[in-house]
Amino acid sequence: MTENFSVKLEEAKYYTPEVRCREQSWMGNYNKTYQAFLADPDGFWDNVARELEWFQPWSRVKEWDYPYARWFLNGKLNITHNCLDRHAHNQRRNKVALMWRGETEDEERIYTYRQLFQAVCRFANGLKSLGVGKGDRVCIYMPVVPEQVIAMLACARIGAVHSVVFGGFGVNALNQRIRGTNAKVVITADVTYRRGRAIPLKNIVEEAVVNAPSVERIVVLRRDTDKPVELHPEMEVDYYDLVDGESRECPAEPMDAEDPLFILYTSGTTGAPKGIVHACGGYTVGTYYTTKHVFDIRDDDIYWCTADPGWITGHSYGIYGPLLNGATCLIAEATPDYPTPGTWWDLIEEYGVTIFYTAPTAIRMFMRVGEEWPNRYNLSSLRILGSVGEPLNPEAFEWFYHTIGKDRCPIVDTWWQTETGMHMLTTMIGEPMRPGFVGRPIPGVVADVVNRQGKPVPPGTGGLLVIKEPWPSMMRTVWGDDERYRKYWETIPGCYTAADLAVKDEDGYIMVIGRADDLIVVAGHNIGTAEVESALVSHDAVAEAAVIGKPDPLKGNTIKAFVILRDGQQPGEKLKKDLIYHVRMTLGPIAIPSEIDFVQSLPKTRSGKIMRRVLKAQEMGMDPGDISTLEE
């Protein structure tokens, strides 16, 4: 895709929900707040940071040494002190912090702020007893269970840097991520459940730690407590044994604002996935602020973010942001259509969810199965709806607004990335919403749509979405590869380039169109073409492979692979199945191609780079554009 396109803007259609007018929201008037931010950006963030508790105040709000920013210099804090102690030691101590629902109805656990505080302290002490300390990396590879959250918070409590790996990834992906950070400890569980099936996570970890010499210990949570798990005592320790007898208090490590808080891997255009590094101070301030204002969160809200905590959405808006705000959060190990397409609506009715944050891919799946499913449930508790991960197309917006929100609830379509850590663009509560458009930069963020020279493009003309000023929760580096960090700031000098194509309307509302680089967003997950290709090529039968994303009404995109076989290999259905199985085993189920074509050659540049856009144009029956670099 290139940015040479335009969009007709005539048919503007706005919705202004009545639910809460802008003067009643935490933010108040958007334009006024945005102007106040522009007038004094540092003063603006200084005020936000003061709403949190610091062990030592900062001496300066920010230092901008392009492309490196430092925020809240010399400030000392701990995110878990702000997520837990701040509430557990005052009037919110008996308020519910976390409600967890497993795949089956009889699996439920509820933690008050006091209980969550104690569980985190216990496990933090357990980690300390294994020799984990400030700066050590800990890999968390777990199902969606309360202990996944507890493990993250326990690491943060003692200053260990967590690197959560989504439980759907396979052996190679996990191994690569463990080695990437030199993790000292891996935290896992015996099994995870997916659609009623038990998937043995621990076995995957056992394979993934071969060739990962940094790993000293593996902590195993027994979910299936009926079945004893065999533990290898040299390496493996039982979660319950580890916390047994540990104190319910563990002092929060005072962290420098710029100390790393966590690493989270995201797929890159080429090469290995990137370990995005977030810093303690800025991340805390950014996620606290955006959760408060974008969701306009109140003490009586029941907040549900459907993302697995293993993704950035789960980190920022499933756990840290809502807990920083003292909210009651639901987490659920729930697939949207298992056991029925009513499962999620049932959860909303049962728990009285008021703020519901999900992804377009789920919304489109629900549209397809029909409104009879949500209509069977009482969804009147809902107050605010949110979307993230890929463009929320107007049809999906309308369906979400009418069928789920019953024309009452504002929709916040939030644009951001693993790299940005926090929401960057949305339509603040109370502002008119334009279907198909995410909206404008939130106060605190300076964004625009520009051409390759960095000049803002007129309304209706396509361009690249850029961020023009640093923000507190921006990534600090790519773990072990700072060169790749600098690249984000080099495409357009002076700006952070998100690699998304976008278009603006006359009111400054931004429509995000899709990725300009070689990432495929499948069901809201970023998948690098390079990762899938190298997984395919690692199969004995494959000589070369290229993959592209194909637009899909349900998943946003699906993966199509073009494969050149080695001599003597027989193409056919059997081999297709083998290849799919191979990708599933190496990268996990989210990365498997939906289609495989066996081909004799691939379009390449003279320098040998596969021209995926040519394959894509062929596939879509479109003009491939400039093919001057194409090899004969």
Q: Which residues of this chain interact with ligand WT7, rule CB under 6 A?
A: 266, 312-313, 388-391, 413-418, 438, 498, 500, 512, 515, 521, 526
Contact between 546 and 559 under an 8 Å Cβ cutoff? The reply is no
By beta-carbon proximity to ligand WT7, the closer residue of 415 and 488 is 415
By beta-carbon proximity to ligand WT7, the closer residue of 517 and 578 is 517
By beta-carbon proximity to ligand WT7, the closer residue of 80 and 313 is 313
Of all residues in this chain, which one has the CB nearest to ligand WT7 in the complex?
418
Contact between 276 and 419 under an 8 Å Cβ cutoff? The reply is yes
By beta-carbon proximity to ligand WT7, the closer residue of 27 and 307 is 307
Phi/psi at 441 (nearest 5 deg)? -60, 140
By beta-carbon proximity to ligand WT7, the closer residue of 75 and 391 is 391
Minimum CB separation from ligand WT7 for residue 524, in Å? Answer: 6
- For 575-587, letters b (16+ CB in 10 Å) and e give bbeebbebbebbb
Minimum CB separation from ligand WT7 for residue 438, in Å? Answer: 5
By beta-carbon proximity to ligand WT7, the closer residue of 294 and 614 is 294
Contact between 532 and 583 under an 8 Å Cβ cutoff? The reply is yes
By beta-carbon proximity to ligand WT7, the closer residue of 426 and 586 is 426
By beta-carbon proximity to ligand WT7, the closer residue of 159 and 405 is 405
Q: Which of 160, 161, 153, 145 is nearest to 308 (CA)?
A: 145
Minimum CB separation from ligand WT7 for residue 384, in Å? Answer: 15
260-266 and 161-164 as β-strands: parallel, antiparallel, unpaired?
A: parallel
Minimum CB separation from ligand WT7 for residue 216, in Å? Answer: 30
| Cα angle value 308/417/10 (rounded, 5°) | 115
Minimum CB separation from ligand WT7 for residue 33, in Å? Answer: 21
| Cα angle value 515/519/524 (rounded, 5°) | 80
355-358 and 519-522 as β-strands: parallel, antiparallel, unpaired?
A: unpaired
Minimum CB separation from ligand WT7 for residue 442, in Å? Answer: 12
Minimum CB separation from ligand WT7 for residue 394, in Å? Answer: 13
* Side chain identity at residue 274, one-letter code: K
By beta-carbon proximity to ligand WT7, the closer residue of 373 and 416 is 416
Contact between 350 and 334 under an 8 Å Cβ cutoff? The reply is no
By beta-carbon proximity to ligand WT7, the closer residue of 181 and 266 is 266
Minimum CB separation from ligand WT7 for residue 444, in Å? Answer: 17
Instruction: Write down the residue that tokens 């995110």 correspond to.
Output: 79
Determine which helix (DSSP H) or strand (DSSP E) holds 395, and give its type and residue range: helix 394-399
- The residue ranges of DSSP E strands in 482-567, in sequence order, are 496-504, 510-515, 519-522, 525-528, 542-552, 556-565
Minimum CB separation from ligand WT7 for residue 522, in Å? Answer: 11
By beta-carbon proximity to ligand WT7, the closer residue of 120 and 329 is 329
Total Cβ atoms within 10 A of residue 145: 22
Rounded CA-CA distance 210/215 in Å is: 9
Minimum CB separation from ligand WT7 for residue 42, in Å? Answer: 26
Cβ-based burial of 226 (10 A; exposed 0-12, middle 13-18, buried ≥19): exposed
Total Cβ atoms within 10 A of residue 467: 23
Rounded CA-CA distance 278/472 in Å is: 10
Total Cβ atoms within 10 A of residue 135: 10
**Collapsed DSSP state (helix, strand, coil) of residue 467:** strand
List alpha helices for 295-359, DSSP H.
312-313, 321-324, 343-351
Minimum CB separation from ligand WT7 for residue 501, in Å? Answer: 9
